[in-house]
Amino acid sequence: MQLINADKPRLWKSDIAASVDQFNQWFMQFAPRAFRTTRVKTTEHVKLALIATDNLRRLNAVALRANPGALATLRMCTAPPLAVDRLVGLCGASKSLVARMEQGKLATRMESQRIDENLARICHVIVKLLDRDIFPWLNSSVGPTDNERDRASTIVADRLCSAVANPIVRNAQESRQLAAIGQWLDQRGYRRQSLPAGKRLSEMDAGTYALRMNVRVGQSLKVNIPVDVVIQPRRPSRGSLPILIEAKSAGDFTNTNKRRKEEATKIHQLQAAYGRKVRFILFLCGYFGSDYLGYEAAEGIDWVWEHRMDDLEQLGL
């Protein structure tokens, strides 16, 4: 099986530099916009949480039970803002309940009375730590003005977005990468088409591709693993598998080295299910250093750099 970049370490240094430059240019131009867009949406969620709790004056188990998804916002309304584990530690609430509330849900297997007891503990801590400099109306009997509520919502939204700044940037970059691959394929006559239910992976129609597709793996226990791009070449050999591509971006070298085992685990699962001939390719943009590349190459994983997308042609596309 011909390799594209994994067997060419003489090119890695220059490719790493070009990839870092490409990511930095994108970040400076588009990341602030992605952050601002998310902040606008988050601000609206904060306002809804304020309304649901009568501008934090009615912060009790009843209000929290009716709006469990407000907890993430309420944690950012305190001084200092509270991480999930810190809140659990302070109030002694069930960690599993808090985790469910962070997803906008209540625990399904917990007795109603116990849920209320936990919610009361959570509210007690949050009320005690509310940042009254942000919510000045709490020190008076008069409700907030529209300007005060808008200002407070923006501050809390900033806190929320800052806590998840890296995922916001990563999600925006991933969407851009998938759009770039889709455009590249569209220009070459490929059609975006999901694999029909009941069809095997090898039966994917020639000249089609799918984005964010679940691929079935496992022997005794079948599970789905997500694959960013699945492409069946226009002229596949009989019974051959589509090409599987994982889009990866990174804004620093440290994070990639921490996460490099994820791809190795995924290719091992795929090979166990579909054999050694499976083509699993990384699509890289950003801070991927020689340590990362060497590790992936040793695991039998090849890659294509986004700044040199036409290398995809070497996959027979």
Below-50 pLDDT ranges, the chain: none
Domain boundary among 141, 165, 189: 165
Torsion angle, alpha carbons of 80, 85, 90, 92, to 10: 160
Q: Could you report the per-residue pLDDT of 164-203, keeping only the tens digit for each?
A: 667 777 888 889 999 999 999 999 999 999 888 778 888 8
Domain boundary among 165, 190, 219: 165
Same domain, 212 and 293: yes
Same domain, 209 and 303: yes
Domain boundary among 150, 165, 180: 165
Same domain, 142 and 55: yes
Phi then psi for residue 232, to 5 deg, are: -100, 115
Query: Can you give the pTM of this predicted structure?
Result: 0.69
**Residue with token string 């919502």:** 153
Same domain, 160 and 193: no
Same domain, 93 and 156: yes
Q: Is residue 125 part of a domain?
A: yes
Q: Could you report the per-residue pLDDT of 15-38, keeping only the tens digit for each?
A: 999 999 999 998 888 878 878 888
Same domain, 46 and 151: yes
Q: Is residue 3 part of a domain?
A: no
**Under a CB-based contact definition with an 8 Å cutoff, are residues 135 and 56 in contact?**
yes
Same domain, 143 and 211: no
Same domain, 136 and 55: yes
Range of the domain at 141: 35-165
